[in-house]
Structure 1
Amino acid sequence: MRFAELYEAGDAWLADCHAHPNLVREAWSFQAAAPIRTGTSWLAAESSLVPGMKALYRMREEHRGPVLADPPQDRMWWLVPLNAADELADVRQVCVQPAGSVLHCPPTGQQVWGRFWLSRPDGSGLLTDPTVLGAAFGPGGYRLPTEAFA
């Protein structure tokens, strides 16, 4: 399998999150990040890089949706469901961007302008659960519910 085919499903899903998917693919063909507005398929929960990385490693992979990082800007963004703003309102380290905000997204298998996917879109539409994200930023991190051990 060619490298490009490995990320095709994630790229297709991400492009389809834009009103004009062809414009997203065109931006990528010029090695640019595509401006995708939030609020149609997902919202972007923003954090600083170091606390975000700590939270990322506290979460199990199956609980994580796409996570975009921009180390030069000390930022990372978690793609979360459209109803996540209220649930994350009390998490000081995370700021959910309002619907209509623009997130400049590289294709899933490339780095553009220093941005890259720490957890890539896979085409499934999986987003990060805001409850799990909020818990991962807490002092003890995310823990499996007690029922998981029964």
Structure 2
Amino acid sequence: MTGVGMSPGSDWLARCSSSPEAVRRAWASEELAAIPAGHWAVVEANLMCSVDAMHALRRAGGNGPVLADSEAGLAWWLTPVDAVEYVVGTSQGLTVQPPAWKLLCPPVEYGYGGRCWMEKPDGTGKLTAPAALVAEFRSSSTTRAARQGRLPGR
């Protein structure tokens, strides 16, 4: 059952939890809801690097949901569960959270607690392809280093 005034994206997030009603209650109380990874993997990254990567991935039509925390300077990308195969060992500043890790998130409609959705879940289950994410972080890293007059690894 979709919550009153709840978007398809928020409804999808709630249904990714083992207790959708608990998620809806948390949001109704303006609390962040703890939704465990499992339906998807969570890839953590620096917020500003994520903003750069989002623009390029959006042009290519490759963005899935991305949650930002302005206070912590972090972003969390929702990707298919096989993300670890693509991310581990890349040294691009990306970390795959363990499968039982809980993403503390607001509903799609609005943010609070310093968190908001930079790319909102749309309810379809669309996720960011981890290979594209790694490639874009690699490209963005090289571009940033070139602007600063240095190359990565030097």
Give the Cα–Cα distance (whole angstroms) in 1 for the partners of residues 117 and 7 of structure 2. 14
Give the Cα–Cα distance (whole angstroms) in 1 for the partners of residues 104 and 17 of structure 2. 11
Give the Cα–Cα distance (whole angstroms) in 2 for the partners of residues 52 and 140 of structure 1. 9
Structure 1: 5+ residue stretches without partners: 142-150
Give the Cα–Cα distance (whole angstroms) in 2 for the partners of residues 17 and 140 of structure 1. 31
Deviation at 1:140, TM superposition (A): 5.7
- How many residues are matched? 136
Give the Cα–Cα distance (whole angstroms) in 1 for the partners of residues 8 and 63 of structure 2. 17
Deviation at 1:112, TM superposition (A): 1.5
AA matched with 1:25: R
Partner of 1:123: 123
- Give the TM-score, by structure 1 length: 0.85
- Give the TM-score, by structure 2 length: 0.83
1:55-104 Cα distance to aligned partner (Å, 9 max, x none): 11121252110000001111000001011111111332100101000110
Q: Check whether the contact 1:65–1:127 (CA below 8 A) recurs between aligned residues.
A: yes
Which deviates more from structure 2 when the two are superposed, residues 53-62 or residues 120-129? Answer: 53-62
Partner of 1:56: 54
Q: Check if 1:17 corresponds to 2:22.
A: no
Identity, % of aligned positions: 36
Q: Mapping of 1:3-82 within 5 angstroms? A: 5=5, 8-39=7-38, 41-60=39-58, 62-82=61-81
AA matched with 2:46: S
Q: Check whether the contact 1:11–1:108 (CA below 8 A) recurs between aligned residues.
A: yes
User: 3-state SS of the aligned residue for 1:103?
Assistant: strand
Structure 2: 5+ residue stretches without partners: 142-154
Partner of 2:85: 86
RMSD: 1.5
